[in-house]
């Protein structure tokens, strides 16, 4: 019996050793893949990664799993964000002109008061000297709004920007001093852009005095402050969002290609954009062209100041109250030549106020837990370790498939040309002199390089032609073998994709990683990137053999 | 070529130019042109009405926000004594915000007027657009908003845009 047990133990030990060996091999392969996934020589990998992320938002930005925007069905549950756009015609309705006078802001806040918003943010830097009467009017209206429970936020470059308001020494009806800091919460409107293409994908948590300042010591960004003030514990919310060590940290903005349906009332362009991945395959522009219909509900100030501009807001202003009641209102400017424009992943240019509006929508829809890149996360090693874990599983699937192909004696790559096909094609080309077919090939490739629309056609024609040749000339046994290999390849691909979907779900939903941080997984599954790195396994085997030989030599001595 | 044919060709050539000079139809009836206009009541009775003081020459100022019964204690229609840009109405009550404010104005967005009850035309078009063009030129460029989606009746053409202001070197408003 004992004799029977011993081989079983030996077999179990061998199996364990084999499993350990396979695990180590896949770990080695995954580590190499992780290095190349994060290899960013001269920063060239960053633009492609960001562009891939832009494509994800362009194609799936309306999917609830990616960006659960404040849809009409959820309006009652989540407060909505409303942009109110001040432009030259609106100023003219009050006899004012650019730059927007402080007195106009006072009048306009009084008009906004009627809408009973949840909070109001003025995306204007009130840094120009203003008459004392205008400043006092602004503070009086602001104090009234504060008294009614409507917080007011004012864009500043630094906290001291509110000092001139205090210097005006304004007093309320009871004679009490009105201070700018009592009325307005100063917020930062600093913008961040990716260095590689200057697109504003990231929204800063706060504006710190300098790179060495402590986390949480800076001026909170507008959307961050507005969101946290609407939470039950604003201080804890602010501390949580601004605790990132890097001074330039921010969260990644999710975008939708669709315009807000409310904007269709004034937009002469369609608010429905449906960019499709098919367009990219057909070599057409993959990202939506500049859309004049912004993704956040927008009310033009002129429509508020004059029913003549927008008479369709209802006899009793029903549509107006419906859109603005309880909403976060962000008042921004849109003046020709003012330069307050932002480039987003899906819009060539948008007025700067949308940067803050979309950031606030992101915070609302992701419940204050927006997507943040790995580079701003702590502990960083843990997040990169998550990548390694995912790649380890993918590498294990890849190596299992390779081993299965070996066991099944399927030595041929299913995508490789058979000997029979090569034997049929080569003589066909050999009928022509070498200079002729080489020059013809070069001319054909030159045409394909010059005319992108021909590329897809040429690739499709080449694949179809090779399949026909294979089916005609390859032996049926080889075709069957190839089909088995192809089935195995597709099964492994499906399993890999399932792992990636799970990893993506965990990464996006729970680890809050933006698409740019998990899209790389797909390249390993879809394009077989592991194939390119299997040389390391050969090297590993050689090292292992040498190590075993050395140990064997040592034991024999 | 006969003189008759020449005159016909000249006439045909000039006709489009003559059409181009025709004034565009007014967008909507200008409230300021309506005689005996009166404020009949608030559009949303439960909300406060923001009032302005001042005048078009010296500028307007935020004065106060009051309920309708403060503006019209007897709940009677208030005569419109002056009007500005079709939307600011001077009300026949200059004491609603206390003394020394002078004449008070209200945005016609918040009140129902007798003028609009007389104006029975349908308002089909709202025409707005964002200025997001990346132009390498002066800001005097005119980009007219042409409604492409909605039906436009001859009476409700888009409102004429304000003449753009000359280029200024003011600091950016933001960021």
**What's residue B126's pLDDT?**
60
CA B40 to chain centre: 20
Distances (CA, A) of A471 to A419, A428, A478, B74: 13, 17, 10, 95
* A146–chain B Cβ distance below 8 A for any pair: no
Substitution target from A90, A101, A110, A357 for chain B, most B beta carbons within 10 A: A110
**What's residue A537's pLDDT?**
76
The strand pairing partners of A252, in sequence order, are A202, A371
What is the predicted ipTM? 0.77
Element (H or E) spanning B14, and its range?
A: helix B3-20
Residue A323 has pLDDT above 80, yes or no: yes
Strand order in the sheet with A152-156: A184-188, A152-156, A119-122, A328-333, A81-86, A297-300
User: How far does the CA of residue A236 sit from the closest CA of chain B (Å)?
Assistant: 27
- For A:321-340, CB contacts with B below 8 A are 321, 332-340
Residue A330 DSSP label: E
The strand pairing partners of A341, in sequence order, are A351
Cα(A250)–Cα(A221) distance, integer angstroms: 10
Alpha helices in A274-365 (DSSP H): 277-281, 301-305, 318-324, 353-365
From first to last of its 175 residues, what are the pLDDT tens digits of chain B? Answer: 456 656 555 554 444 444 444 444 444 456 777 778 899 999 998 999 999 999 999 899 999 999 999 999 888 999 999 999 988 999 988 888 987 888 999 999 999 998 887 765 545 456 677 766 655 554 444 445 555 544 444 444 444 333 333 333 333 444 4
User: How far does the CA of residue B92 sit from the closest CA of chain A (Å)?
Assistant: 20
Cα(A192)–Cα(A216) distance, integer angstroms: 18
By C-alpha distance, the chain A residue nearest B49 is: A114
Residue B157 DSSP label: P
Mean pLDDT over A326-355 rounds to 88
Using an 8 Å CB-CB cutoff, list chain B residues near A264.
149
Residue A417 has pLDDT above 50, yes or no: yes
Show me where the domains of chain B are located. 31-118
- Averaged pLDDT score across all residues of chain A: 86
Mean pLDDT over A316-322 rounds to 90
Cis ω on the peptide bond leading into residue A99 (within 30° of 0)? yes
CB B87 within 8 A of CB A111: no
Cα(A431)–Cα(A381) distance, integer angstroms: 60
More confident residue, A209 or A536: A209
Residue A241 has pLDDT above 90, yes or no: yes
Take residue A487 and report the two structure tokens written for it. Answer: 């089935």
**What's residue A540's pLDDT?**
78
Determine what percent of chain A is predicted with pLDDT higher than 90. Answer: 42
**Nearest by CB: B48 against A113, A140, A337:** A113
Following DSSP, what letter does each residue of A244-266 receive, concatenated? -SSTT-EEEPP--SSPPGGGGGT
The string of pLDDT tens digits covering residues A499-550 is 999 999 999 999 999 998 888 888 776 666 666 667 777 787 888 788 888 8
Take residue A146 and report the two structure tokens written for it. Answer: 């504060």
Q: Between chains, do B147 and A268 touch, taking CB under 8 Å as contact?
A: yes
The string of pLDDT tens digits covering residues B134-166 is 555 544 444 455 555 444 444 444 443 333 333
pTM over 0.90? The answer is no
More confident residue, A311 or A298: A298
**Nearest by CB: B60 against A107, A113, A267:** A107
User: How far does the CA of residue B128 sit from the closest CA of chain A (Å)?
Assistant: 5
User: How far does the CA of residue B12 sit from the closest CA of chain A (Å)?
Assistant: 34
Q: In which residue are the tokens 């206390």 written?
A: B98
By C-alpha distance, the chain A residue nearest B107 is: A305
By C-alpha distance, the chain A residue nearest B85 is: A93
Which of A223-227, A268-272, A380-384 has maximum average pLDDT? A223-227
Alpha helices in B21-149 (DSSP H): 68-71, 114-118
**What's residue B165's pLDDT?**
35
**What's residue B112's pLDDT?**
92
User: How far does the CA of residue A225 sit from the closest CA of chain B (Å)?
Assistant: 17
Pairing verdict, β A152-156 and A119-122:
parallel
**What's residue A268's pLDDT?**
76
């Amino acid at each position: 019996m004992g004799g029977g047990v011993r081989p079983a133990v030996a077999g179990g030990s061998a199996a364990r050793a084999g499993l350990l060996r396979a695990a180590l091999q896949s770990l080695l392969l995954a580590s190499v893949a992780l290095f190349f996934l994060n290899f960013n020589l001269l920063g060239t990998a960053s633009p492609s990664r960001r562009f891939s992320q832009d494509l994800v938002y362009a194609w799936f930005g309306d999917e609830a799993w990616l960006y659960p925007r404040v849809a009409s069905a959820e309006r009652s549950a989540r407060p909505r964000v409303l942009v109110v756009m001040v432009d030259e015609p609106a100023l003219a309705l009050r006899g004012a002109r650019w730059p927007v006078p402080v007195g106009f802001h006072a009048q306009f806040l009084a008009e906004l008061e009627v809408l009973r918003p949840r909070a109001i943010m003025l995306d204007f830097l009130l840094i120009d000297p203003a008459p004392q009467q205008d400043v006092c009017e602004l503070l009086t209206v602001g104090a009234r709004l504060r008294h009614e429970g409507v917080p007011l936020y004012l864009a500043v470059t630094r906290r001291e920007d509110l000092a001139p308001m205090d210097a005006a020494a304004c007093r309320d009806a009871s004679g009490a001093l009105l201070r700018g800091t009592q009325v307005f919460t100063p917020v930062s409107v600093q913008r961040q852009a990716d260095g590689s293409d200057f697109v504003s994908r990231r929204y800063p948590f706060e504006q710190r005095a300098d790179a060495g300042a402590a986390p949480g010591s800076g001026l909170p960004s507008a959307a961050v402050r507005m969101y946290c003030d609407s939470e039950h514990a604003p201080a804890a919310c602010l501390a949580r969002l601004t605790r990132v060590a890097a001074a330039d940290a921010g969260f990644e903005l999710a975008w939708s290609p669709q315009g807000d349906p409310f904007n269709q009332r004034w937009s002469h362009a369609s608010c429905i954009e449906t960019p499709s991945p098919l367009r990219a395959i057909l070599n057409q522009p993959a990202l939506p062209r500049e859309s004049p219909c912004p993704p956040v509900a927008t009310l033009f100030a002129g429509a508020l100041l004059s029913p003549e501009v927008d008479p369709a807001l209802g006899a009793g202003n029903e549509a107006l109250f419906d859109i603005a009641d309880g909403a976060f209102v962000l008042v921004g400017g849109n003046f020709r030549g003012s330069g307050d424009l932002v480039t987003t992943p899906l819009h060539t240019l948008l007025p700067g106020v949308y940067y803050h509006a979309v950031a606030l929508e992101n915070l609302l829809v992701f419940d204050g837990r927006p997507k943040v890149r790995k580079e701003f996360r702590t502990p960083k090693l843990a997040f990169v370790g998550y990548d390694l874990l995912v790649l380890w599983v993918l590498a294990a699937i890849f190596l299992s498939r390779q081993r299965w192909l070996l066991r099944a004696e399927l030595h041929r790559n299913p995508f490789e040309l058979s000997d029979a096909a090569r034997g049929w094609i080569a003589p066909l080309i050999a009928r022509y002199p070498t200079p002729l077919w080489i020059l013809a090939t070069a001319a054909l490739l030159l045409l394909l390089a010059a005319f992108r629309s021909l590329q897809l056609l040429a690739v499709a024609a080449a694949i179809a032609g090779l399949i026909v040749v294979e089916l005609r000339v390859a032996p049926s046994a080889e075709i069957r073998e190839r089909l088995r290999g192809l089935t195995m390849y597709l099964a492994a691909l499906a399993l890999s994709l399932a792992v990636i979907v799970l990893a993506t779900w965990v990464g996006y939903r729970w680890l809050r990683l933006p698409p740019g941080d998990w899209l790389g997984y797909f390249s390993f599954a879809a394009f077989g990137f592991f194939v390119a790195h299997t040389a390391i396994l050969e090297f590993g085997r050689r090292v292992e053999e040498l190590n075993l030989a050395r140990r064997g030599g040592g034991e024999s001595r | 070529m006969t003189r008759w044919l020449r005159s016909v060709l000249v006439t045909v050539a000039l006709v489009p130019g003559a059409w181009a000079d025709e004034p565009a139809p007014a967008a909507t009836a200008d409230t300021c042109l309506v005689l005996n206009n009166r404020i009949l009541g608030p559009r949303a009775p439960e909300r406060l009405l923001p009032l302005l003081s001042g005048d078009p020459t010296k500028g307007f100022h935020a004065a106060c926000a009051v309920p309708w019964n403060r503006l019209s204690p007897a709940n009677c229609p208030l005569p419109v004594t002056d009007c500005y840009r079709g939307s600011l109405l001077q009300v026949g009550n200059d004491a609603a915000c206390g003394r020394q404010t002078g004449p008070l104005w209200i945005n016609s967005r918040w009140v129902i007027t007798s003028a609009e009850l007389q104006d029975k035309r349908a308002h089909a078009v709202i025409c707005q657009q964002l200025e997001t063009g990346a132009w390498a030129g002066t800001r005097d460029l005119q980009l007219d908003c042409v409604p492409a989606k909605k039906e436009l009746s001859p009476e409700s053409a888009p409102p004429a845009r304000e003449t753009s202001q000359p280029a200024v070197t003011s600091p950016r408003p933001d960021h």
